Amino acid sequence: MGERTYDEAAYDGVRLRRLDDAGNVAEFVLDRPEALNALSTNLARSIGRASADLAADRRVRAVVVSSACEKAFCVGADLKERSDFTDADLWAQRPIMRAAFGGLLDLPVPVVVAVHRYALGGGFELALAGDLIVADQTAIFGLPEVSVGLVPGGGGTQLLARRIGWSRAFDLIVTARRVEAAEGERLGFVDRLVPPGQARETAVDLARQIAGNSPVGVRSAKRALRLGAAAGLAEGLEIEDAAWRQTAFSADRREGIAAFNEKRPPSWPEVTRWPGDTGTGR
């Protein structure tokens, strides 16, 4: 199927587009190549708006995050813009930045991030806000904030530690060192390592595979995983049980079992209200 232009795709530095006729797979493209997708205030605002639009789109079952810039995925905060900031300017920018990272993190559907070349600072944190990271062999990751008098502020201290463990995350953050994709795979934050130039294609294929599964089941599974990650075992099992109940008594379960028995692909019913829908993916 050909790519379909996303409705209302007028964002400064971001393009949204549908990758199939049904609109089940959407692509979120960072498109500020002249600045290597550096996170300016305007770009951060666009990321928040685009994320909100995706979250409200009930046709979307999976999202791919990619970069239109050949030289980088995203190099982090726009330090040129910040060079003239007063403390008041930086303080005013903070909620806009938090809304950008939080918007991707809170998407209720799986988010597959395609990374090539540089994913530094806020760029790495945008990738961590997704659910799966596909990186090609040119990818370089890093959280350099402590080297310029900052700390990661887009979720890096929390999301990286949850992926690879406290001590490994501590190592990367306090040394500010850069990590190539192969090491990222060994550490555990790169989920698919692919040859140069194949990150986006692999991410799209993965998103399409996800989108072919039960929409209710996939959303419920993501919600259970996210909520359970910060819970104890007993509480986590209760969260899982709630997700099971929400899915097992949905129309998706009836269609899924019927399709299996009839040896045909499932035709998932349209959902008007998602189980556990609170407006976030968490």
- Cβ pair 146, 174 in contact under 8 A: yes
Q: What secondary structure, in 3-state letters, does 97-151 show?
A: HHHHHHHHHCCCCCEEEEECCEEECHHHHHHHHCCEEEEECCCEEECCHHHHCCC
Is 77 a known active-site residue?
yes
Is 125 a known active-site residue?
yes
Residue with tokens 């986590």: 236
Residue with tokens 């509480």: 235
Cα dist. 66→92, 116, 185, 232, 273 in Å? 28, 9, 19, 34, 29
Annotated catalytic residue, options 44, 50, 77, 169: 77
Give the phi and the psi of residue 107 in degrees, each rounded to 5.
-60, 130
Q: Is 196 helix (H, G, I), strand (E, B) or coil?
A: coil
Radius of gyration of the chain (CA): 19
Annotated catalytic residue, options 102, 121, 122, 155: 122
- Cβ pair 136, 91 in contact under 8 A: no
Annotated catalytic residue, options 13, 125, 130, 224: 125
* CA-angle at 187, arms to 170 and 70, nearest 5°: 100
Annotated catalytic residue, options 44, 48, 145, 207: 145
- Cα of first residue to Cα of last residue in the chain, in angstroms, is 31
Maximal CA-CA distance, the chain: 65
Is 27 a known active-site residue?
no
Active site residues: 77, 122, 125, 145
